[in-house]
Amino acid sequence: MKSRRKLNQTSFLLMVTIVLFIVMYVIGCILFSDQGFAKTQNFLNLFISNAGLIVIGIGMTVVMITGGIDISVGSFVAMGCMMLAWMMERGGIGAVPSVLIVLATGIMFGLVQGFLVAYMDIQPFIVTLAGMFFARGMTAIISKDMISITNETFMAWAKIKVYLPFGGYVNKKGVMIYPYIYPTVVIALILLVIAFIMLKYTKFGRSIYAVGGNEQSALMMGLDVRKVKLKAYVLDGFLCGIGSVLFCLNTLGGFVEQAKGFEMDAIASAVIGGTLLTGGVGNVIGTLFGVLIKATIEAFITFQGTLSSWWTRITIAALLCFFIVLQSVLAMVKKKK
Amino acid sequence: MNKSLKNITSQRLFLPIFCLALVLLINLFTRPDFFSIEIRDGVLYGFLIDIINRASELVILAVGMTLVVSASAGTDISVGAIMAVSAAVCCNILTGGERAATAYANPLILGFIAALVVGALIGCFNGFLVAKLEIQPMVATLIMFTAGRGIAQLITDGQITYVRVDSYKILGSSFPGFPVPAPFIISIIVVLLTLLLLKKTALGMYIQAVGINKKASSLTGIKSVLIIFLAYAFCGLCSGLSGLIASSRIYSADANNIGLNMELDAILAVAIGGNSLGGGKFSIAGSVIGAYTIQALTTTLYAMHVSSDQIPVYKAIVVVIIVTLQSSGFARWRKALAQKKESNTAEKGAA
């Protein structure tokens, strides 16, 4: 009975997030109906411009469920993009090996951070803070100038369009135009499904929840808490690697200031999606909707045209505030029961 | 001899001081002129002076952050954003809403007070969320972290607001006829006042008690909620003051860059100072030393001609080393090693 009530509470938070997203989107459709906000393509653009964030949000969610946090992701994305750009443009390395090297770097990065957190007992915040400094500085060491990617294979990947068989419309010339997405979105959504299944149904996924929920009990249950944490950070690092490749396919270049504040976007998305920073509670589907809400706010501001960019931050902060207070009120009500 | 060495190394402040000394020692070999201090135009000048001058904002932030960390076992990541807001408020009041001014539109003191009040108010907001609504500190302060720079840009219309009046620059340079940098004096006053407040009243003990066990201290009659709230409000006030100094240095309010990444440095200063980020016991002196260590490191790297973009790499490496040395995981490993050695020698003795 008790576990059912808890389930209800977390699914309630998820419901709130989803409903809020739908409400915001409908408002957008009504406000900007003449500018084509309601077009299927516009909806898909939310995914296209945030494929990298979705993947990184998944990693962030996993780490946050263990009770940790990773604030190095933004800098890592900058470093990943810069590595890709440098290897392909200056290093003469092909697109495939470059991508593999970035993925390997992600795993290495996760391994080191995970080791320091799990086996050295240093607070995740401090470890990933150092990781953040390291990755951002490394980006500057690789190159201080912006490098644009011109590699043919990589450009070809970036240009592939996957057309959807539905939702098309007839344009002025009478040609049927179908909405499209990029492979990046497909990859992100596949990873999302895998992560969802992994968290819910595999031993590793459940031990992540157990460690985050109560480390002591997890230990007594016979779980190797340190190993689970290490694995979570390695997974997070790997997802960061993938995320930065997807991000790079979108921006096609590397520069030092890239993806600044990205880590906070990822954390905010996870929190809006109902993941608790104390660990033990979280869901990647919620994170997806957190990302979509952020994307919708940005779309609002683009469509509106006269609003300044800082309104994005203020609106996201207001939303964060709303969700956080809601979470805490729910927790208090539960406690009183 | 061994015992006295152990006594020294087991001191709370040993590691922080050791780290600072090590950073300074490196300079002794790489740049002998690092320690020279001279007087130019009636103001002290030199690398060392630069360190204690530039570290001032960080020291003030670290003091506030220490109390927050101790009382709530969490970090306030909004301090950098609060600095930007308070600077924006102050400059906007002084210019009377213009984007640049060569004379005050309002009295200087009004701008200062408004900036401090705004800082404290944002701190109160954070404190309310953390203490009353029991939200995890990082999440609660994430709100102001995200919104802060947006609000600062809103106030300054997204532009840099300049106050081109000489008296506005005093706070960030030096008091006329006094050779010591003004930020340093202010930071020392803040540290001393805080220490006085904590030692002369029971406040310091209350904060530690709440940090160690909130529920237990509530049962003994300490108003835990109020203590945590006050810690955040104080941290906000400190951030407001830092914002003023930072703004006075460049006699303008730059919403995007004032206090950028300062929250990270402040948290690092607390951690390097040997304070547990898990709350409880704290040492203001440790945090202050931590702040100077970070600044010494930065200045050292500048002196070695490392560009500002690349500094974070070295900072990260040093931080990881320092924090690992202080970590319980490392202590466990060292203990295991010592035990092995002991049993080895015991075996040898038996044989």
Q: How far apart are CA A17 and CA A274, in angstroms?
A: 8
Q: Which of residues 313-332 of A touch B (CB under 8 A)?
A: 313-314, 316-318, 320-321, 324-325, 327-329, 331-332
Delineate the domains of chain B, giving CATH numbers in brackets: 2-305 (1.10.3470)
Q: What are the tokens at A170?
A: 């007839």
- Alpha carbon distances (Å) from A72 to A80, A236, A259, A267, B142: 12, 11, 11, 11, 16
- CB count in 10 Å sphere of residue A92: 8
Helix ranges (H only) for chain B are 2-9, 14-30, 47-54, 56-72, 79-95, 108-127, 137-156, 182-200, 203-212, 214-219, 224-249, 262-272, 284-303, 311-326, 328-350
Q: Which amino acid is at A303?
A: F
Q: Which of residues 271-300 of B touch A (CB under 8 A)?
A: 271, 277-278
Q: Which of A17-26, A238-247, B116-125, B223-232 has the lowest mean pLDDT?
A: A17-26
* Average pLDDT score over residue span A47-59: 94
- Alpha carbon distances (Å) from B49 to B1, B25, B33, B235: 36, 16, 13, 26
The pTM (predicted TM-score) of the whole model is 0.84
Q: Which run of H or of E encompasses A118?
A: helix A95-118
CA angle A267, A201, A331 (to 5 degrees): 45
The model's pLDDT over B245-282, given as tens digits with 9 standing for 90+, comes to: 999 999 999 988 898 888 888 988 998 888 887 788 89
Q: What is the DSSP letter of A202?
A: S
- Alpha carbon distances (Å) from A13 to A195, A269, A285, A323, B103: 20, 13, 12, 8, 53
* Average pLDDT score over residue span A187-205: 94
Region for residue A69 given its phi and psi (left: phi exceeds 0; alpha: psi -120 to 50; beta: otherwise): beta
Nearest-CA distance B88 → chain A (Å): 15
DSSP letters along B316-349, please? HHHHHHHHHHHSHHHHHHHHHHHHHHHHHHHHHH
Q: What are the tokens at A77?
A: 């994305």
Q: How far apart are CA B59 and CA B48, in angstroms?
A: 15
> Is the distance from CB of B145 to CB of B79 less than 8 angstroms?
no
Q: Which of residues 273-302 of A touch B (CB under 8 A)?
A: 276-278
Q: What are the tokens at A103?
A: 């993925």
* Candidates A310, A329, A332; nearest CB to B153: A310
Q: How far apart are CA B112 and CA B56, in angstroms?
A: 17
Q: Does the pLDDT at position A8 exceed 70?
A: no
Q: How far apart are CA A279 and CA A283, in angstroms?
A: 11
Contacts of residue B32, Cβ cutoff 8 Å, sequence gap at least 6 = none
* Candidates A123, A137, A321; nearest CB to B143: A321
Write the burial class of residue A203 (CB in 10 Å: 0-12 exposed, 13-18 middle, 19+ buried).
Answer: exposed
- Alpha carbon distances (Å) from B172 to B182, B245, B252, B295, B340: 6, 5, 11, 17, 55
Q: Does the pLDDT at position A2 exceed 50?
A: no
Instruction: Give me the pLDDT at residue A324, please.
Output: 80
Chain A interface test: which of B143, B144, B145, B330 (most A C-beta within 10 Å): B143
Q: Which of residues 118-177 of B touch A (CB under 8 A)?
A: 129, 133-136, 138-140, 142-147, 149-151, 153-154, 158
Nearest-CA distance A171 → chain B (Å): 40
Contacts of residue B166, Cβ cutoff 8 Å, sequence gap at least 6 = none
* Candidates A139, A314, A329; nearest CB to B150: A314
Q: What are the tokens at B34?
A: 């690092």
Tens place of pLDDT for every residue, chain B, 351 residues?
A: 566 666 666 677 887 888 888 888 888 887 777 777 888 777 777 888 889 999 999 999 999 999 999 999 888 989 999 999 999 999 999 998 888 888 888 899 999 999 999 999 999 999 999 999 888 888 889 889 888 989 999 999 888 999 988 889 888 888 887 888 999 999 999 999 999 999 999 899 999 999 998 889 999 989 999 999 999 999 999 999 999 999 999 999 998 889 888 888 898 899 888 888 778 889 999 999 999 999 998 888 888 888 888 888 888 888 888 778 777 788 888 888 888 888 888 777 766
Nearest-CA distance B133 → chain A (Å): 6
Cα atoms in the 13 Å half-sphere on the side-chain side of B318: 23
Instruction: Give me the pLDDT at residue A38, please.
Output: 80
Q: Which band of pLDDT confidence, cut at 50, 70 and 90, is reported for residue A331?
A: confident
> Is the distance from CB of B283 to CB of B12 less than 8 angstroms?
yes
Q: At what angle do helices B262-272 and B311-326 cross, to 10 degrees?
A: 30
CB contact under 8 A, A129 and B129: no
**B275 vs A contacts (CB less than 8 Å):** none
Between A13 and A214, the more confident residue is A214
> Is the distance from CB of A290 to CB of A273 less than 8 angstroms?
yes
CB contact under 8 A, B316 and A133: yes
CB contact under 8 A, A121 and B139: no
Give the residue from A240, A244, A262 showing the smallest Cα distance to A252. A244
Instruction: Give me the pLDDT at residue A160, please.
Output: 87
Best-predicted range by mean pLDDT (A4-8, A24-28, B80-84): B80-84
Q: What SS3 state is found at A120?
A: coil
Q: What percent of chain B lies above the pLDDT cut of 90?
A: 42
The model's pLDDT over A134-173, given as tens digits with 9 standing for 90+, comes to: 999 999 999 988 999 988 899 999 888 888 877 777 777 7
Length of chain B in terms of residues written: 351
Q: What are the tokens at A159?
A: 């240009």
Interface size, chain A vs chain B, as Cβ–Cβ contacts under 8 Å? 135
- Alpha carbon distances (Å) from B165 to A17, B101, B106, B170, B184: 50, 8, 12, 10, 21
**A326 vs B contacts (CB less than 8 Å):** none
The model's pLDDT over A98-125, given as tens digits with 9 standing for 90+, comes to: 999 999 999 999 999 999 999 988 888 8
**B147 vs A contacts (CB less than 8 Å):** 313-314, 317-318
Q: What is the DSSP letter of B160?
A: P
* Candidates A121, A144, A325; nearest CB to B309: A144
ipTM passes above 0.95 = no
Instruction: Give me the pLDDT at residue A135, please.
Output: 94
